[in-house]
Structure 1
Amino acid sequence: MSAGERGGEAVLAGLDDEQRTAASAVSGPVCILAGAGTGKTRTITHRIAYGVHVGAFAPETVLAVTFTARAAGELRTRLAALGVGGVQARTFHAAAMRQLRYFAPQVLGGPMPPLIENKLRVVGNAAARARLTTDRTSLRDLASEIEWAKTTLATPEDYPARAAAAGREPPFEAAAVAQVYASYEAAKSRDGALDFEDLLLVTAYALEEHQQVSRQIRAQYRHFVVDEYQDVNPLQQRLLDAWLGGRADVCVVGDPNQTIYSFTGADPDYLLGFADRYADAEVVKLERDYRSTPQVVGLANKLIGQATRRKGLPGLRLLGQRAEGPAPRFAEHPDEPAEAKAVAAACRALVDAGTPASEIAILFRINAQSEVYENALTDAGVPYVLKGGERFFERPEVREAVLLLRGAAAGGSEPGALVPTVRDVLASTGWVEHRPPAGGAARDRWQSLSALVDLAVDLVAENPALDLPGFVAHLAQRADAQHAPTVQGVTLASMHAAKGLEWDAVFVVGLVDGVVPISQSLARPDAVEEERRLLYVAVTRAREQLTLSWSLARNPGARRSRPRSRFLDGLAPDAGAALPARKPKKAKVVLDGEAGELFERLRAWRSTAAQAASVPAYVVFPDSTLQAIAETRPATLRELAGLPGIGSRKLELYGEDVLATLGS
């Protein structure tokens, strides 16, 4: 056996049978169906390392693309640990940026154009030219619509028809959005600028239309790996096809059960139809779940097993590999504050029993649900981190600390003194270890700086010889990869933001119909199924302890009539009056007193609005939304926007009329 073969066997040694099959498939089209917690990153990095060791490809000819800088950084880190350097692991946008910057003189006749990193200003000017009245929320929605159109390769001219076919709910009439889209594109052309979607589009164009460019890029990159392939959109697929140039040396990795980004343009049919597109494709299923206990895995399988059967590649049924754990808990509460208080108390108990706060997460469907949990955790004295906020390395206190550490590193450091030195440097900013402030911004600042100390402690445990210059270099690498250190706090995150993460204990909250599934999805069965997959993603984030909860009313004292999520039918126990079955979809809403009068008044207004718009009444607002409005009686547009079923478009169309009806 040659040295390369021995190295290859060593790479495969720690893999299970299915992972080994996938990792040793190093030629031709390969599709790896990897369920949650089945070790997909381990598998694809070992596949690349195995291919390099056995001579199937040279590392510099491999391009691995994924969706986040952190995931790309993780690929590079793991490959380096396997002794493989030179592989390009990047996001789609980073790979396109690198190639287009090099070939811009040939393709564009000059240097790389400036990049629009935030569309809002340009979109706002385009909306003003279209005489649309906008606020920051509607501008964000307009920008999102333009991004969806560009990722699905829709032009301004065909946007209205494509949006209608996709069931989009744009913030303005589709024709107006198309006008803003066209004006936005014209403004970019006048300014000679590109946006992030243009990076992919122009790079694909360069490969398709410039033979010298395509020959050079295709000679460089001959083997491709695409992570999270279920999330690829038509624009990304076009670029991938351009990179391949008709070749078939591509390995895709994905999970049909975690398709949750269709609203951004992602198209799971590329994954589902891979074996049809490549008749000789090798398809490998990874179903052994090493993340979660059999109890969590069993619940996840039951949840996704209720989904409508989809065409294409076979589904995945997870097989729990860990030791037995506690059964998932189901909890019903009278109202949302009571639910939040109970969850915060449970978090407090877990932390007191020794579970690190960073190993606990509270997951919800929409970001607006976070506030009540922020308040409850603060009252319980439990630190928390809101995922999706400002990036860690862009926080002012972190930037200041890194500058100070860099300055201290310039003077050298003593071996074995990294942690005390980091503590001393941070103390000069006013940080005091073991004395966190009571809350608010000061607490956030303290947690950020404490995370740097904790990172230093962890790194020294792995490498006792690490000095301050090495630590500063490590921080720079993490900043480039957007790989933030662990901050000691319970994670508050939306279900979408939680994808790719995991915790020891997970609380999935707010599980009522109209929220999970979200009310906007109820008119389309495929959208409801995507909501089920979103809940599946949330459930499979838990390693050991899982709690699913809901509340029967939004506010204390309101009628307790909200039905729990339909996805819990057959999962949560139905014994006792405390766990009522979900109401039939057309059940009559019964409200007492003033709330009942308001509900009837709102129904009368809705009937008039529906007749004026020539649409069915439920298109204006379903009864569940009217019920929520009647129960909470919002006094401002902001309060109204916080209710389920009130999107920015509905708010613009009907918000003032609803408030007027409530006040009449």
Structure 2
Amino acid sequence: MSTEPLFQTRAFVPTPEQRAVQTAAARTLVIEANAGAAKTTTLALRMAESWQRGTAPDAFLVLMHTDTACQALRDALHKIGVPPAVRQRMRIATFEQFCTALLADASARPVPVLATPEQLRPHVWQAVQHVEQAEDERWRDALQLPAQGDSGFVEEFLAVADRLKGTLGDERAREEQSVSPDYADALGVDYTLLKVFLAYERLRQNEWGDGALFRGTHDATYDLARALHHGAAPADYRHWPLGVRALCVDEMHDMNQAAFTVLAALLNSTFSLFCGVGDRDQVIHSAGGADAIFMAGAITEATGRPVVRLPLTPSHRFGKRLAAKVARLADKAYDSAAAHDTGVALLSYGDGAQCVDLVLAEVARWRATPRARMDQCAVLLRHAHQSVGIENALIAAGVPYTLSGMGSYLLRPEVLLVRGLLAVATDNFESVAEPRTREALMHALVFFCGARITVAGREHESQQDLLADAIRSVTDNPLFLQHFFQNQILPNVEPATRRRLCAAVAVAQEPSAPDMLQRVLGALEIDALIHGALVSRQRRQEAQDNLAGLCAAARAFASARDYFLHLNQTEQRQGALRSAASLVLASIAHVKGLEFEQVVIPYLERGIFPVPHASAEEERNTLYVGMTRARRQLTLLAHAARPSSFVAQLGYAMAASAAAAAPD
């Protein structure tokens, strides 16, 4: 490419750094960007320039890690002026979507995706049984197989499996080695977990059949990478994109070995130009093998291609005050080229209710700003359960909001369980107006109670089909819920669970009871129920925290019936508030690549954020991602007596007597 660009955008005047990326003649280009340095927009400029210089739109392939990132790039192409007919023909997909489509060529049938640890758990125990039956006598003494039902083992197994798949650990290390305790040590994996992993993968991939039986959320990328590592050729896949001439990757810092193996195969099998962009300080998925090393020398090593590296240095998203705070957090030089400045404020709160009040005050302040759009205000959370009080306050204030990276607390399984029991106790299921909520509520009842559906004469049918049939009946006629509970749930659960369910319903049927919901959960022995149903310790804690928020809200109601109706009405009000311009309530990890005029990050509190025992670097990177989404205003909310360690890192001195607001 010449140094003079052919593509001209009216959206802004590109900086010299952006022009250098847009017109670089390099066949293989990696952009090292800071947050806010317009890396996605710059990638769009690079793509637009390639199109103007003759690359057909159908010859583009852009691979991302999330749907959010895909949409952010489409928005950037629109912003810089690429015509709709052109950008619609450019293929933009996640790695998982791309790999799933290729693997479909070799599959005789669609492969179901099991998205939760709870869905994967039965297959883990099946693998444990296979190991127990087939273990080599030489190493039997080294095994420490868990007792059936040990959710801690399942959680640990799934974490190890994610790491082994993301890094291709076993595939890259094994070669002709036998699987022994010494080999497991060399991999850094417990021997028992490794044996169960290998058995699990043989079962999942159905090595004796006609393709995978199921996949987890990232297994298509792993399956394709594994096949390529073991000698599969691009020509083996009917829809391998041999005609790609422009290959791009955004968020390269999220790349792991599995994704990189697919990328390397694409680079080695096509004559494409390549451009990848990333920010080393945004690595927040290292547990799955994400590593900034794939932005370094890995491409040259795997493909022989020389790599030209170009920087995107100053922020265009936020101003110098926020850049100074980000520099302190990331411990590196950071500057801003933005024409505007970005306000940064630290507010302190004493308890959760005060934190919610401060969030609402910031939202109200934004709403009062002339020409403010509500979808340009985001409240970013580290934990999903933190949305409970905020959602209730937003609904009470009539503020429309959308959720990103999490569902409404009203539709979380443990909350649906409570709503289901209250529906049974009040015999009032018809007040749940939304059919999808009725369906999800019944799923939650069956899931947490461990019930098996039984229908005379239909013993040969699957639980999935029987449950779907029962759900259709109750969804169509809510009066059938009592029949379903009495004739399908109670008779088909463990005696101890039956006792708890009956006791909980009895409490909920009392005409008036102080702390009614707390007593319902006590009768249900909810902690034991959660522990038996949910795999992840973090997910169990989230469920308990969600229910604690529910109990706090329930104290204002005298009876189960009143609170049940309130929850149903809240859901209806929530639906009525939806609009195109809604406040964004999101998990921090889900907004990578996005930006907002106003960002509020609450609950900077010791023991909450950073998460105890988590990777300190990833927790810092997570806050870095959240802070760098802001354009005009960032507001941090920290506990006055127990401030997060990040508060000091950002240069704030804060004690129990801290001022209510400390703008910087």
Q: TM-score range by the shorter chain?
A: 0.5 to 0.7
2:349 maps to which residue? 333
Say if 2:365 is the partner of 1:360: no
1:533 maps to which residue? 621
Matches within 5 A, 1:549-628: 549-552=637-640, 560=641, 562=642, 564-569=643-648, 571-574=650-653, 578-579=657-658
Q: 2:388 aligns with which of 368, 371, 378?
A: 371
Q: Aligned AA for 2:648? A: D
Say if 2:99 is the partner of 1:99: no
Q: Report how far residue 568 of structure 1 moved.
A: 2.3
- Secondary structure of 2:594's match? coil
Q: Report how far residue 95 of structure 1 moved.
A: 1.5
2:46 maps to which residue? 47
Q: 1:88 aligns with which of 91, 98, 102?
A: 91
2:167 maps to which residue? 152
Aligned CA RMSD, in angstroms, stands at: 4.2
2:325 maps to which residue? 299
Verify the 8 A CA contact 1:26 1:47 in the aligned structure 2. Answer: no
2:62 maps to which residue? 64
Name the CA distance, whole Å, in 1 between partners of 2:223 and 2:122.
Answer: 24
2:255 maps to which residue? 232
Q: Aligned AA for 2:596? A: W
User: Judging changes above 3 Å, is the alpha-carbon distance between structure 1 residues 272 and 447 closer, same or farther for their aligned structure 2 residues?
Assistant: farther
User: Judging changes above 3 Å, is the alpha-carbon distance between structure 1 residues 26 and 176 closer, same or farther for their aligned structure 2 residues?
Assistant: same
Q: Report how far residue 39 of structure 1 moved.
A: 1.9
Deviation per CA, 1:24-48: give whole Å up to 9, x if none.
1254110112222222222112212
Name the CA distance, whole Å, in 1 between partners of 2:395 and 2:181.
Answer: 46
Q: Report how far residue 176 of structure 1 moved.
A: 4.9
User: Judging changes above 3 Å, is the alpha-carbon distance between structure 1 residues 362 and 219 closer, same or farther for their aligned structure 2 residues?
Assistant: closer
- Secondary structure of 2:44's match? helix
Verify the 8 A CA contact 2:610 2:644 in the aligned structure 1. Answer: yes
Q: Report how far residue 152 of structure 1 moved.
A: 1.7
Matches within 5 A, 1:241-260: 241-245=264-268, 249-260=273-284
User: Judging changes above 3 Å, is the alpha-carbon distance between structure 1 residues 8 and 138 closer, same or farther for their aligned structure 2 residues?
Assistant: same
- Secondary structure of 1:291's match? coil
Q: Report how far residue 504 of structure 1 moved.
A: 2.4
Matches within 5 A, 1:448-467: 448=575, 451=578, 454-455=579-580
User: Judging changes above 3 Å, is the alpha-carbon distance between structure 1 residues 382 and 161 closer, same or farther for their aligned structure 2 residues?
Assistant: farther
Name the CA distance, whole Å, in 2 between partners of 1:161 and 1:496.
Answer: 37
Name the CA distance, whole Å, in 2 between partners of 1:369 and 1:123.
Answer: 27
Name the CA distance, whole Å, in 1 between partners of 2:397 and 2:12.
Answer: 47
Say if 2:583 is the partner of 1:504: no
- Secondary structure of 1:285's match? strand
Q: Report how far residue 76 of structure 1 moved.
A: 4.7
Deviation per CA, 1:548-567: give whole Å up to 9, x if none.
22225xxxxxxx5x3x2233
Question: TM-score, normalized by length of structure 1?
Answer: 0.61
Verify the 8 A CA contact 1:288 1:318 in the aligned structure 2. Answer: yes
Deviation per CA, 1:291-334: give whole Å up to 9, x if none.
2233222222222126xxxxxxxxx72414132343x1122333
Say if 2:102 is the partner of 1:114: no
Deviation per CA, 1:246-297: give whole Å up to 9, x if none.
7783211001121111122211111144687578422221123232233222
User: Judging changes above 3 Å, is the alpha-carbon distance between structure 1 residues 213 and 397 closer, same or farther for their aligned structure 2 residues?
Assistant: same
Q: Aligned AA for 2:376? A: E
Verify the 8 A CA contact 1:206 1:213 in the aligned structure 2. Answer: no
Q: Report how far residue 447 of structure 1 moved.
A: 4.9
Verify the 8 A CA contact 2:384 2:406 in the aligned structure 1. Answer: no
- Secondary structure of 1:303's match? helix
Verify the 8 A CA contact 1:76 1:87 in the aligned structure 2. Answer: no
Verify the 8 A CA contact 1:330 1:572 in the aligned structure 2. Answer: no
Q: Aligned AA for 1:517? A: P
2:498 maps to which residue? none
User: Judging changes above 3 Å, is the alpha-carbon distance between structure 1 residues 218 and 204 closer, same or farther for their aligned structure 2 residues?
Assistant: farther
Say if 2:634 is the partner of 1:546: yes
Name the CA distance, whole Å, in 1 between partners of 2:404 and 2:337.
Answer: 28
Verify the 8 A CA contact 2:244 2:272 in the aligned structure 1. Answer: no
Q: Report how far residue 65 of structure 1 moved.
A: 0.5
User: Judging changes above 3 Å, is the alpha-carbon distance between structure 1 residues 202 and 536 closer, same or farther for their aligned structure 2 residues?
Assistant: closer
Instruction: Identify unmatched segments of 5+ residues in structure 1.
Output: 105-109, 169-173, 307-315, 401-437, 456-485, 522-526, 553-559, 581-664
Verify the 8 A CA contact 1:8 1:49 in the aligned structure 2. Answer: yes
Name the CA distance, whole Å, in 1 between partners of 2:375 and 2:24.
Answer: 37
Verify the 8 A CA contact 2:320 2:335 in the aligned structure 1. Answer: no
Matches within 5 A, 1:171-210: 174-190=190-206, 192=211, 193-195=213-215, 196-204=217-225, 208-210=231-233
- Secondary structure of 2:266's match? helix
Verify the 8 A CA contact 1:293 1:543 in the aligned structure 2. Answer: yes
Q: Aligned AA for 1:565? A: S
Name the CA distance, whole Å, in 1 between partners of 2:232 and 2:198.
Answer: 24
Deviation per CA, 1:97-147: give whole Å up to 9, x if none.
222333x2xxxxx63552334364343243266364548897566545423
Q: Report percent identity of matched pairs.
A: 27
Name the CA distance, whole Å, in 2 between partners of 1:41 and 1:576.
Answer: 40
Verify the 8 A CA contact 2:250 2:276 in the aligned structure 1. Answer: yes
User: Judging changes above 3 Å, is the alpha-carbon distance between structure 1 residues 497 and 75 closer, same or farther for their aligned structure 2 residues?
Assistant: closer
Deviation per CA, 1:68-99: give whole Å up to 9, x if none.
23433454565575143533221112222222
Q: Report how far residue 369 of structure 1 moved.
A: 3.1
Q: Report how far residue 492 of structure 1 moved.
A: 3.1
Matched residues, number: 470
Q: Aligned AA for 2:18? A: Q
User: Judging changes above 3 Å, is the alpha-carbon distance between structure 1 residues 450 and 379 closer, same or farther for their aligned structure 2 residues?
Assistant: closer
Question: TM-score, normalized by length of structure 2?
Answer: 0.61
Q: Aligned AA for 1:529? A: E
Q: Aligned AA for 2:629? A: R
1:287 maps to which residue? 313
Deviation per CA, 1:312-368: give whole Å up to 9, x if none.
xxxx72414132343x11223333333333333333344355655433333332223
User: Judging changes above 3 Å, is the alpha-carbon distance between structure 1 residues 386 and 211 closer, same or farther for their aligned structure 2 residues?
Assistant: closer
Verify the 8 A CA contact 2:61 2:92 in the aligned structure 1. Answer: yes
Say if 2:571 is the partner of 1:492: no
Q: Give the stretch that moved more between structures: 362-371 or 256-265.
A: 362-371
Name the CA distance, whole Å, in 1 between partners of 2:17 and 2:240.
Answer: 33
Verify the 8 A CA contact 2:595 2:629 in the aligned structure 1. Answer: yes
Deviation per CA, 1:611-656: give whole Å up to 9, x if none.
xxxxxxxxxxxxxxxxxxxxxxxxxxxxxxxxxxxxxxxxxxxxxx
Q: 2:287 aligns with which of 245, 263, 269?
A: 263
User: Judging changes above 3 Å, is the alpha-carbon distance between structure 1 residues 387 and 139 closer, same or farther for their aligned structure 2 residues?
Assistant: farther
User: Judging changes above 3 Å, is the alpha-carbon distance between structure 1 residues 329 and 220 closer, same or farther for their aligned structure 2 residues?
Assistant: same
User: Judging changes above 3 Å, is the alpha-carbon distance between structure 1 residues 248 and 269 closer, same or farther for their aligned structure 2 residues?
Assistant: farther
1:606 maps to which residue? none
Q: Aligned AA for 2:622? A: L
Highest RCO, 1 vs 2 (Cα 8 Å, sep ≥ 6)? 2
Name the CA distance, whole Å, in 2 between partners of 1:9 and 1:353.
Answer: 33
Matches within 5 A, 1:433-452: 440=567, 442-445=569-572, 447-448=574-575, 451=578
Verify the 8 A CA contact 1:123 1:180 in the aligned structure 2. Answer: no
Q: Aligned AA for 2:635? A: T
Verify the 8 A CA contact 2:398 2:577 in the aligned structure 1. Answer: no
